[in-house]
Amino acid sequence: MAQRTLQDKLAILSDAAKYDASCASSGTTRRDSRSGGIGSAGGTGICHAYTPDGRCISLLKILMTNFCIYDCAYCINRVSSNVERARFSPEEVVRLTLEFYRRNMIEGLFLSSGIIRSPDQTMGDMVRIARMLRIEHGFKGYIHLKTIPDASPDLVAQAGLFADRLSVNVELPQDASLRHLAPEKRPETIRATMADVRLGREAAKDRSHTGKRPPRFAPAGQSTQMIVGADQATDVDILNTSANLYSGYQLKRVYYSAFSPIPDASAMLPLIKPPLMREHRLYQADWLMRFYGFDATEIGSAHPSGNLDLDIDPKLAWALANRAQFPVDVARAPREMLLRVPGFGTKTVGRILTARRNGVLRYADLLRMGAIMSKAQPFVTLPDWTPGALTDSAGLRARFAPPPEQLSLF
Amino acid sequence: MIRITLPRFGRFDAWRHAARDLASGRVPMEDVTWADPDTPPDLFGADPAPPPGDHPVVATQEFLQLARQVAGHSDPERWSLLYGALMRAQGDRRFLSNPADPMLDRLSRMAKSVRRDIHKMHAFVRFHELPPDGPRRAFGAWFEPEHPILEIGTPFFAKRFADMDWLIATPEGTARFDGDAIAYDDPAPRPDLPDDASHGLWQTYFANIFNPARIKTNAMRSEMPKKYWKNLPETRLIPDMLADAPRRVQAMRDAGASDAPAFAPKITARLRQQPDDSIPDTLEQAASQAARCTRCELCHAATQTVWGQGDPTAPLMLVGEAPGDQEDLAGLPFVGPAGQLLHRTMAEAGLAPDRAWLTNAVKHFRFTPRGKRRLHQTPDRDHVDQCRWWLDLERRMVAPRLTVALGATAAFALTGNRKPLTPRRGLVEPARDGGPVLITWHPSLILRLPPDRAPAALSELRADLAQAVRMVA
């Protein structure tokens, strides 16, 4: 095989990395290069570019190598795929990261890898790259390392010292589908790795008896990803799994990735059109669980199938299914109830709570403060607005749902 | 009419000084015009600023922060608006904390637009490497923001790229950094930026990280508005990427599933050795089988199987209910609050932890998620029945002379008797598989009891453990 150029390798190993949705670069410790080194981090993340698939580019997201000994049916890099293979040397990854960084193209590096030889070997190489960036080059930017499940806890502990974020993908919402589609992976060891990361983060927060703070461990927390649409799990199943993961491992995010056809597909999975709307609704539902006080079954039970309504957003769907709780008096309702009004976001609710201490709130005030009144109308009462029979009207859903389309034959 | 001309740079501080002086004389906002260096002179001439008056002028931190952002807006009326807000705040400061106030709303919207523009500047400036002028590497960029934000937008780059020289040129002016402070200069024509090989690599990355099977151009355009495209090298590729996407997706469909390369089955066969599921002979074998246990549904939500721990040859076995949150994370029994209480009480009763085998009746954690916490749930009868397979194996291999059942679940798992615990506590009952079982409280019960009842229960637990030690002595 001819020697591949850096450009060839970059093409192969970024193509191989695109199925990982996470690109967050926020929420880590504040630091910058005025005291030496290069780079800065902390505060909100920055998305430096967007591709036409609607995903942002914040980090250089690449695989160290796409050689892999595992055979996960949904993955383009599985051992049984005929995809072109390549491998970066650690120096090449470091060089690409720093040169892109200096040109202000990225916030840092998101490094993942196929599993070569053994999980420990792979994880060890990834930790080495992170160490080179941090120690040899004084890199203060963001580093996200994908933790290889089954790697030894020692290596995970080292990774946490150099990385801002660690992540392990649960891959599929149900254990049975993972065992079926990714037989080399084991759900219990994936979860055990997440538990290790959580315990590592907690241990790094405790001061020793001398008051000394231990070194920071993955200060931007951990996240995970689930593929949506590759198995039979319903949205309630998916959201329940997310709720378990958030509560168990203090995850910052669960990413949902619509199962997308890959070149060189496995016969085990259909080449479907990626369910992008379903993915979008799941993200909305996830937000409702984390910031609006909803729980998974509540959101999921709005529809008897256990799946989210694709035509209207999950908060609206919940409100339509629970109309007895509406309309809400904006002047008096507690925060928890205001958060449940469709068209009111967390910021709007914050503004309402502040503003109603200053005086009477009218329709136009809410409009100005960012409320989407076209959605909120049937669910609120104001001094100059009452929904009357609208709240309970039979045609309410039709007001919001897009007009029905004739099914395409093709 | 009073005319205040603000300089090109250091504008906000100049406005602040002028506004403070004017407000101290309570000059109404209608009497002042604010000008930039490029504003043509007034047709009818203008009055100079009057000397400061003697009214006190106050501004909150929040107002100054808001004003600093609004000052970066391109709207020529911004200075006047800010001065109006400052004057109004002298009489009634409350409007500044009322989101429903129209004036605050307008200023907040302007500030938001400026913040967004600054954010986009931090995102979309693209440096090209320039020939160095010394030991430090040098980079330059041309950027066209929507608002005059050069001064508030560039300190970010000085913090981030402290070890390199850089130049950011905009239609508003240029910012130059060489390691000390940022120097701002009048606008210059767009500089010629040399070709940079890393930009080619960047385009390679951009084209390959794109997934042609998911097209969401609206999401892209709303976050990367077209007005910024002309200075972003990668956006040139977008039309071709979009045009080619349907063909690539169709090609994937047409190609369908592929045949695995010849070496793949060998690797897979080596990795996928069937685990040994014959009846285990040793505790280690049992533990590794239990780690894969799917006998009940608890394994789906719990992290891992929590196997017993301690001395496998001990004469004494302690059985609790099920692992809790901490045990589930650590994979070890009795490490949470109840476990720590048990260890303390064992020490007081003269029982060293390594002189017993500690385990649970159910080996997976059962919980309901509540936000960021997991609330413990008592396992059902079915969980106990399924998990008894492992408990029985453990009992056969450890072969204790006495088993202590901590709490009702353990008592049921060991004896099959579900009657209330209070009359049975402190007594010895026969286990289902023979052998004596001493029944006592679970330490977590003691943690849940009200303070007036907990000490009594704790001393009963301690006494029972001491009795267990005597019984196996």
Residue A373 contacts residue A364 (beta carbons within 8 Å): no
Q: Which stretches of chain B score pLDDT less than 50?
A: none
Do residues A161 and A60 share a domain?
Answer: yes
Q: CB distance B97–A55 less than 8 Å?
A: no
Domain assignment of residue B427, given as a range: 283-472
- Beta partners for A253? A223
Same domain, B330 and B384: yes
Closest to A345 (Cα-Cα) out of A316, A378, A386:
A316
- The answer to whether residues A166 and A241 belong to one domain is yes
**Inside any domain, residue A293:** no
In angstroms, rounded to a whole number, what is the distance separating the alpha carbons of residues B81 and A323? Answer: 44
**Residue A40 falls inside a structural domain:** yes
**Would residue A338 count as lying in a domain?**
yes
DSSP-derived 3-state class of residue B399: coil
Instruction: Look at residue A304 and tell me if it is in a domain.
Output: no
For tokens 């129209």, the residue is: B102
Shortest Cα distance, chain B CAs vs residue A382, angstroms: 14
pLDDT, average across residues A333-358:
95
Q: Quick one: CA dihedral B317, B320, B326, B330, positive or negative?
A: positive
Quote the tokens at residue B28.
């109404």
Q: What chain A residue is nearest to B291 in terms of C-alpha separation?
A: A188
Chain A residues inside the 8 Å CB shell of B226: none
Detail the DSSP E strand segments found in B11-132: 32-35, 128-130
Cross-strand pairs, B429: B437
Facing residues of A112 across strands? A63
Which residues of chain A lie closer than 8 angstroms to B175, CB-CB? none
Same domain, B334 and B416: yes
Residue A22 domain-assigned?
Answer: yes
Question: B-chain residues within 8 Å CB-CB of A194?
Answer: 303
Alpha-carbon span B149 to B71, nearest angstrom? 9
Same-domain status, B108 and B235: no
Q: Do B361 and B317 belong to one domain?
A: yes
Burial category of A207 from C-beta neighbours within 10 Å (exposed 0-12, middle 13-18, buried 19 and up): exposed
Give mean pLDDT, residues A377-387: 95
| β-pairing verdict for B436-440 and B402-406 | parallel
**What are the DSSP calls for B167-194, one per residue?**
EEEETTEEEEESSS-EEEE---PPPPPP
Whether B129 and B242 map to the same domain: the answer is no
Q: Which amino acid is at B374?
A: R
pLDDT at A154 (0 to 100)? 92
Touching check for A139 and chain B: CB below 8 Å? no
Do residues B303 and B435 both lie within one domain? yes
Please give the sequence-ordered ranges of beta strands (E in DSSP) within A220-287, or none if there are none: 222-228, 253-258
Q: Dmax over Cα atoms in chain B, in whole Å? A: 110
Query: How far is it, in rounded angstroms, from Cα A33 to Cα A39?
Result: 5
Please judge whether B205 and A100 are an interchain contact, meaning their C-beta atoms are less than 8 angstroms apart.
Answer: yes
pLDDT value for B41: 77
A27 has pLDDT over 90: no
Determine the Cα–Cα distance for residues B385 and B387; give it in Å rounded to an integer.
6
Q: Does residue A291 lie within any of the structural domains? A: no
Tokens coding A321: 């299914």
Q: B209 and A261: CB-CB below 8 Å?
A: no
Radius of gyration of chain B measured on its C-alpha atoms: 38
User: Of the candidates A52, A99, A355, which has its C-beta nearest B242's C-beta?
Assistant: A52
List Cβ neighbours of B443 (8 Å cut-off, separation of 6 or more): B338, B339, B341, B342, B345, B406, B461
- Using 50, 70 and 90 to split pLDDT, how confident is the model at A264? confident
A80 and A164 co-located in one domain: yes
Q: A219, A243, A274 — which closes off a domain?
A: A274
Q: How far from the centroid of its chain's Cα atoms is residue A350's Cα?
A: 25
Contacts with A186 from chain B: Cβ below 8 Å: 292
Contacts A–B by Cβ distance under 8 A: 266
**CA-based nearest distance A58→chain B, Å:** 9
Structure tokens at A1: 């095989």
Q: A376: which residues sit within 8 A by CB, 6+ positions away?
A: A341, A342, A343, A344, A366
- C-alpha–C-alpha distance, residues B172 and B185, integer Å: 9
Give the helix/strand (H/E) hosting B471. Answer: helix B454-472
List, for residues B384-441, the tens digit of each pLDDT value: 999 999 999 999 999 999 999 999 999 999 999 999 999 999 999 999 988 999 999 9
Q: Which domain holds residue A393?
A: 314-400
Q: Which of A105, A189, A268, A368 to mutate to test the interface with B (most CBs of B within 10 A)?
A: A105
The whole-angstrom distance between A393's CA and the closest CA on chain B is 31
Residues B225 and B178 in one domain: no
Q: Is position B192 within any domain?
A: no
- Burial degree of B141 (CB within 10 A; 0-12, 13-18, 19+): buried
Residues 141-180 in A contacting B (C-alpha not used; CB under 8 Å) = 174-175
Sequence-distant (6+) residues with CB within 8 A of A135 are: none
Same domain, B155 and B40: no
Using CA coordinates, name the residue in chain B closest to A20. Answer: B209
Judgement on whether residues B336 and B215 belong to the same structural domain of the protein:
no
Q: How many CA atoms lie within 13 A of A327 on its CB side?
A: 21
Q: What is the DSSP letter of A18?
A: T
A281 within domain boundaries: no
User: Which phi and psi angles does A89 have, rounded to 5°?
Assistant: -80, 155
A75-124 pLDDT, tens digit each: 999 999 999 999 999 999 999 999 999 999 999 999 999 999 889 999 99
pLDDT, one tens digit per residue, over A352-371 is 999 999 889 999 999 999 99
Residue A408 has pLDDT above 70, yes or no: no
Judgement on whether residues B50 and B101 belong to the same structural domain of the protein: yes
The count of other CB atoms within 10 Å of the CB of residue B274 is: 5
Sheet containing B165-170, strands listed edge to edge, beginning at the edge strand earlier in sequence:
B128-130, B138-142, B165-170, B173-177, B182-185
Burial, B54: exposed, middle or buried (Cβ in 10 Å; 0-12, 13-18, 19+)? Answer: exposed
Q: A286 touching B, CB under 8 A? A: no
Residues β-bridged to residue B141: B168
Angle at A272 between CA A266 and CA A276, to 5 degrees: 125
**B256 lies in some domain:** no
Give the residue carrying structure tokens 């003691």.
B446
Task: Specify the DSSP element, H or E, that contains B406.
Answer: strand B402-406
- Give the model's pLDDT for residue A409: 55
Kindly report, residue by residue over B175-194, the tens digit of the pLDDT. Answer: 999 998 999 999 999 989 99
Cis peptide before A149 (omega within 30 of 0): no
Give the pLDDT of residue B434. 87
Task: For chain B, say whether A267 makes contact (Cβ under 8 Å).
Answer: yes
Let me know whether A268 and A323 are in one domain: no
Mean pLDDT estimate for chain A = 92
- Touching check for A83 and chain B: CB below 8 Å? no
Residue A228 bridge partners (DSSP): A258
Closest chain A residue by Cα to residue B229: A49
Q: How far is A358 from chain B (nearest CA, A)?
A: 6
Cβ–Cβ below 8 Å for B163 and A37: yes
Residue B434 within a domain: yes
B265 found inside a domain: no
- Of the pLDDT bands very low, low, confident and very high (cuts 50, 70, 90), residue A301 is confident
Placement of tokens 């996830």 in the chain? A286
**Distance between CA B386 and CA B398 in Å, rounded?**
20
Specify if B273 maps to a domain. no
User: What is the model's pLDDT at position B398?
Assistant: 94
How many secondary structure helices (H) and strands (E) does chain B include? 18, 15
With tokens 């198995």, the residue in question is A231
Read off the CATH number of the domain in which A69 is found. Answer: 3.20.20.70
Looking at the structure, tell me whether residues A179 and A319 fall in a common domain.
no
Q: Give A-chain residues touching B234 at CB under 8 angstroms.
A: 49
Closest CA–CA distance from residue B78 to any residue of chain A (Å)? 20
Whether A359 contacts chain B with CB within 8 A = yes
Element (H, E) at B138: strand B138-142
Residue A1 has pLDDT above 70, yes or no: no
User: What stretch of H or E contains A262?
Assistant: none
Q: How far is A64 from chain B (nearest CA, A)?
A: 14
What is d(CA A148, CA A158) in angstroms, rounded to the nearest whole number?
A: 13
**C-beta separation of A134 from A143 below 8 A:** yes
* Domain-ending residue, one of A274, A294, A325: A274
Q: Are residues A35 and A124 in the same domain?
A: yes
Q: Give contacts of A 176-205 with B, CB under 8 A.
A: 183-184, 186-188, 191-192, 194-195, 198-199
Residue type (1 letter), B117: D
Q: Is A258 on the interface with B (CB under 8 A)?
A: yes
Q: Which of B217, B223, B253, B364 is nearest to B298 (CA)?
A: B364
Pairing relationship of beta strands B138-142 and B128-130 according to DSSP bridges: antiparallel
Q: How far is A354 from B433, CA to CA, in rounded Å?
A: 66
**Average pLDDT rounded to a whole number, residues A1-15:** 90
Say yes or no: B328 and B419 in one domain: yes
Judge whether A81 is closer than 8 Å to chain B, CB to CB.
Answer: yes
List CB contacts (< 8 A) between A10 and chain B: 201, 204-205, 208
How many of the other CB atoms lie within 10 Å of CB of A211? 6
Chosen from A188, A194, A336 to mutate, greatest number of chain B CBs within 10 A? A188
Q: How far is CA A80 from CA A72, A230, A261, B268, B318, in A?
A: 9, 18, 16, 9, 49
Please check whether residue A341 is in contact with residue A372, taking contact to mean a CB–CB distance below 8 angstroms: no
Chain B interface mutation, best of A32, A47, A51, A278, highest count of B Cβ atoms under 10 Å: A51
Number of domains in chain A: 2
**DSSP-derived 3-state class of residue A96:** helix
State the pLDDT confidence band at A410, using cuts at 50, 70 and 90: low
Same domain, A263 and A354: no
Round to whole Å and give the CA distance between B67 and B60. Answer: 10
Alpha-carbon span B302 to B377, nearest angstrom:
12
Looking at the structure, tell me whether residues B51 and B113 fall in a common domain. Answer: yes
Residue where a domain stops, chosen among B159, B185, B211: B185
Whole-angstrom distance, CA of residue B3 vs CA of residue B18: 11
How many angstroms away from the CA of B194 is the closest CA of chain A?
A: 13
* Amino acid in the structure at residue A27: G
Query: Do A252 and A346 belong together in one domain?
Result: no
Any domain includes A176? yes
Which residue in chain B has the smallest CA separation from A176? B300
User: Which pLDDT does position B381 carry in this prediction?
Assistant: 96
> What percentage of chain A carries pLDDT values higher than 70?
98
**Whether residues A218 and A354 fall in one domain:** no
Residue at a domain's end among B118, B146, B168: B118
Residues A164 and A71 in one domain: yes
User: Which residue type is seen at B224?
Assistant: M
Which residue has 């809400």 as its token pair?
A328
C-beta atoms of A54 and B217 within 8 A:
yes
What is the total count of domains within chain B?
4
Residue A40 sits in the same domain as residue A186 = yes
Burial grade of B85 (CB within 10 A; 0-12, 13-18, 19 or more): buried
A241 and A152 in a common domain: yes
Say how far apart CA A232 and CA B242 lie, in whole Å: 31
**Cα of A355 vs its chain's centroid, Å:** 33
DSSP strand E in A125-264: where? 142-146, 165-167, 222-228, 253-258
Distance from CA of B64 to the nearest CA of A (A): 20
Q: Domain end: B67, B92, B118, which one?
A: B118
